[in-house]
Every structure is written in C-alpha cells, then in structure tokens.
C-alpha cells in the first residue's frame, strides 16, 4: 500500500491554512516549507517517498490554497509567516521535527529554528539560502533595486516576474532536458499569482526580504552551537541561489552533507527520486523513520 496523502485545512489566528499531511502523529515528523512562487504542490512527488514519517507541508498565507488576504487586510512579512507556521505546528502537536526548506521556506524555517532551537533536529535545504554568498546578484538585482527605491519604475520591473514566461523561466533555467518538467507547475503558480491583490502581496514580501540576511549570523550560531545536521541538495543552475550557498553550511556544522546536482531552482521537478534518496539516507542517521 502506498503512502496516503491527506489534504487539510486549519484555522490559525483567524486565517485558514491549507496543508498536506501523510503519516500518523506518532511518527517522527518532517515539515516541508515551500518557496516563491509556488506552494506545497512542489512537494507532491516527494511526500510519498517519505514513508515512515509524519510529513506536514503547509501553504504559506497568500500562497496556494491558503487564505490570501490583501495587503490592506494583513501585514505580510516573513516574521508573520513564520508565526503562522509555528501556530499551525503547535495546533498539530508538533514539537520536534526535521525541516525541508526551499527558497522562501528557508527564512521562515530559520525563524522557527532560532526561536525554538531545540525543536529542529535536522535541516534539509533544497536551494534554501542562509548565507550572503548564496545570492546570485543578477537574479536579485531587481529585488534589491526595489528594496532601495520602491519607485513605480522598479515596481514595474518586478511585476514582470509574475508573467507566465518569467515563472516558467524559474523552472526551466538550469535544467538540461526541459521535457521532464510538468507545465502544470508554472501554470498553477501563475493562476495563484493572478488572483486579485496577490501581486501586491508578493511585492510586500519582496520588500520584506531585506530582513532575512540580518538573521544569518543567528542561524550560523544555532548551527555551530548545536552542530545541527544539514543536508544541502542544490540545483546547480539556480539563477537566484548559487552552489556557494550550499557549500557554506559546512563552515558552521561538522554534520553537513553537500550535494550539488544538475538542475535548477526547482530541483524536485527534475531530480525528485535522487533528492528523496539523499533525504532518506540522511535522516536514517539523524531522525530514523519508524
């Protein structure tokens, strides 16, 4: 019998959050935190390969099937998204877990770990950055410009990121054989981003990303002080987060396993089986499955 994945909702601090869940509550837990511009849908092929664990993969507020209040209705920030994620985990009775972080999921995960240093027992980073050298300047230049000066011109440039072609580009860049990628991914992402008011949500988070690098020293201290096991499974051709961001984890923990693989930002779309195998082998040492 294969892994049964449940699709559920929980109300956290007045907001309805969607999450995918597999495995029973008595199993060791893995929390999967997605990035921009996607949702927990990015983990649809990974979750069934994590049998023996309780797996929880939420959609962040404003993404996927979770509520998406406007910027007038909710003050979007990475602090706020982390607080909602912590609230969901508390509601589900999750106190100790490994986490898989990708893109935006990384700064959300770092906040959870810094606030609750004993709760996170291992980190799997799939292009989830935690070091200054991980940034690819060409990919970040429009966001940095908008952070420095949120002018109408810089905003218009960033709004170009929400087009179907730009979203597709996030998936195909760095992938040798584009035919292995499912077009459903960028089509679904574009549909969610096209909801009324959602572009403004994403612009707010682009601006707030400036709060993330200042957290890196605290992340590094947490890794060093606790010698947290880290698996970095990194798509080499990511146009936003380069492989130096993966290698840097080895500076702060002796339990770092670094794998730079052929692929792009969404490595799970082209190398899910390989990444899943690495995750299972890694967690067998640090959070054995039931």
Q: Is the dihedral of CA 210, 216, 222, 227 positive or negative?
A: positive
Q: In what order do the strands lie in the sheet with 120-125?
A: 5-12, 15-22, 54-58, 29-33, 97-101, 120-125, 230-235, 256-261
Residue 265 falls in the annotated catalytic set: yes
Instruction: Please give the full DSSP string across 32-90, using - where no structure is assigned.
Output: EE--TT--GGGGTTTGGG-TTSEEEEEPPTTSTTS----TTTS---HHHHHHHHHHHHH
Count of residues in the chain: 290
Furthest C-alpha separation in the chain: 55
Name the catalytic one among 15, 102, 220, 265. 265
Q: For residue 219, what are the contacts with CB-CB under 8 A and spacing of at least 6?
A: 110, 113, 114, 130
3 state DSSP class of 15: strand
Reported as type and span, the H/E element at residue 260 is strand 256-261
Residues labelled as active-site residues: 265
């Amino acid at each position: 019998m294969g892994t049964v994945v449940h699709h559920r909702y929980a109300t956290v601090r007045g907001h309805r959050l969607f999450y995918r869940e597999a495995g029973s509550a008595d199993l060791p837990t893995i929390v999967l935190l997605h990035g921009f511009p996607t949702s927990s849908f990015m983990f649809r092929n990974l979750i069934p390969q994590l049998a023996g664990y309780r797996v929880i993969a939420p959609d962040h507020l404003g993404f996927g099937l979770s509520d998406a209040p406007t910027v007038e209705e909710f003050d979007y920030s990475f602090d706020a998204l982390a607080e909602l994620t912590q609230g969901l985990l508390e509601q589900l009775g999750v106190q100790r877990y490994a986490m898989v972080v990708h893109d935006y999921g990384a700064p959300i995960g770092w906040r959870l770990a810094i606030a609750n240093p004993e709760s996170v027992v291992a980190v799997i980073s799939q292009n989830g950055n935690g070091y200054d050298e991980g940034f690819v300047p060409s990919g970040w230049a429009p966001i940095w410009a908008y952070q420095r000066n949120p002018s109408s011109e810089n905003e218009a440039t960033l709004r170009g990121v929400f087009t179907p072609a730009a979203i597709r580009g996030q998936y195909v860049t760095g992938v040798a054989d584009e035919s292995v990628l499912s077009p459903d991914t960028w089509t679904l992402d574009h549909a969610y981003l096209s909801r009324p008011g959602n572009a403004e949500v994403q612009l707010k988070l682009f601006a707030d990303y400036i709060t993330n690098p200042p957290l890196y020293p605290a992340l590094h201290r947490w890794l060093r002080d606790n010698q947290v096991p880290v698996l970095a499974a990194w798509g080499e051709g990511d146009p936003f987060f380069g492989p130096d961001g993966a290698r840097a984890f080895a500076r702060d923990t002796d339990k770092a396993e670094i794998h730079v693989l052929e692929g792009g930002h969404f490595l799970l779309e082209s190398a899910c089986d390989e990444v899943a195998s690495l995750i299972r082998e890694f967690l067998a040492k640090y959070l054995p499955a039931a």
